[in-house]
Structure 1
Amino acid sequence: MRSDELEVTVSTPASRSGSMRAADTDRIEVAQLLTDAAASGKLGLTEYESRLNRAYAAQTYDELDRLAADLPGAVTRGRSGPCRPAPSSVLLALLSGFERRGRWNVPRRLTTIALWGGGVVDLRYADFTAPEVEIRSYSIMGGQTILVPPEVNVDLRGIGVMGSFDDSVDGDGSPGAPVVRIRGLSVCGSVTVKRKKRKPAKA
């Protein structure tokens, strides 16, 4: 090779193997795809929850791909990108009430406040945008109810002063499913956390 010649080596990125370890982002993405399918009637409730549990427990891309391969919108995804949680938000009930139900994006941090009012946060049909969620709940002369689906893991710790703040929730979640950490304070009020099954979609 002459001294004025430059040897250039072009390398191509190694193809991503289906046996590679999946990231939280991938599991969340497939969970949202499954929820889309359930909401549109393409998956029944039992099949949806079965696949959802397997998606959260999946370790590799192959496992995730098999769960979504027969669904519309299933494509080769961008792998292992960073989780992009929904923005933190606050729900306030002041002599009134709030409700967050149905399909909505659960942020990484959610603060709920009931002052002489009440509120309901229903996570059963929501899309989780992060593997861990922190909910700060405060009730003063008011009451709040937080509903969690069967697969979600719950870490619950709060203080009740002349009121009640649940210190446990029935049942265990599923391996790999999102963790919801609930903290807060209830003064002459209540914060109630219930694990509740989803209802089949109406025909």
Structure 2
Amino acid sequence: MTEPAPRTATSRAADTDRVQVAQLLTDAAAEGLLELDDYERRLAQAYSATTYAELDRLSADLPGIANTRRGACQPAPKTTLLAFMSGFERRGRWNVPRKLTMFSFWGSGVIDLRYADFTSPDVEIKAYSIMGGQTILLPPEVNLSVDGTSVMGSFEEETSGAGTPGAPVVTVKGFSLWGGVNVRRKKRRPNRHVQRD
């Protein structure tokens, strides 16, 4: 059995490596080591990086952050959020799973991915709203695909432009009956902390 080739600076980086560096940059922003503009610039560069050298440069000047995580990046477990005559909310810093299901019945839900850690390069969100409402907030760099249906309600996408090449792809599918699902991009706020909730 042959051993895999060792990773070198010029080796091609995988999607999971880019996701991992994005998490490191979010750690640095949470600790106040990066201003919002610098964080978002480096995040876009991380998602479009092709080699380990490009990824390593993005965290080389961050004391205590560089190379603290290596190895396989594992997607967070599949998650279901329910609201029966109530509500749910995911904001701040949390781990976005590869598969997320949202269901509201006479209730509401909000998930905000702007400060969250993506644990997979592809995320599928299934949103079902019956006589309720749901909002999905995305950061500017994420790529998006929406395929929803509504009956006497709405399934709306309020986004403009494409995301950053190489950034995670979020696919939103679902159904709305006498309710609504609203998917939109929203910029991060400069003074908002990205501490884990």
Identify if the C-alpha distance between structure 1 residues 183 and 130 changes in structure 2 by more than 3 Å, giving closer, same or farther: same
Counterpart-to-counterpart distance in 2, 1:125 and 1:167: 20
1:164 to 154, 173, 178: 154
The Cα of 1:190 is off from its aligned counterpart by 0.2
The Cα of 1:73 is off from its aligned counterpart by 2.4
Identify if the C-alpha distance between structure 1 residues 111 and 43 changes in structure 2 by more than 3 Å, giving closer, same or farther: same
TM-score by length of 2: 0.91
Counterpart-to-counterpart distance in 2, 1:16 and 1:159: 45
The Cα of 1:16 is off from its aligned counterpart by 2.6
The Cα of 1:17 is off from its aligned counterpart by 1.7
Aligned partner of residue 166 in structure 1, secondary structure: strand
Larger radius of gyration: 1
Any runs of at least 4 consecutive aligned residues in structure 1 with deviations exceeding 4 A, and if so which? 11-15
Matched, 1:64 2:85: no
Counterpart-to-counterpart distance in 1, 2:4 and 2:187: 44
Q: Which residue of 2 aligns with 1:19?
A: 10
1:152 to 132, 139, 142: 142
% identical aligned pairs: 63
**1:47-106 deviations in whole A, cap 9, x for unaligned?**
000000000000000000000111122127646x3x410000111111001100000000
The answer as to whether partners of 2:21 and 2:46 remain within 8 angstroms in 1 is: yes
1:46 to 37, 52, 56: 37
Matched, 1:73 2:59: no
Counterpart-to-counterpart distance in 1, 2:68 and 2:83: 43
Matched, 1:175 2:197: no
Q: Which residue of 2 aligns with 1:34?
A: 25
Unaligned runs of 5+ in 2: none
Q: Which residue of 2 aligns with 1:3?
A: none
| CA RMSD across the alignment | 1.9
Matched residues, number: 191
Unaligned runs of 5+ in 1: 1-10
The answer as to whether partners of 1:124 and 1:198 remain within 8 angstroms in 2 is: yes
Q: Which residue of 1 aligns with 2:94?
A: 104
- Letter matched to residue 75 of structure 1: N
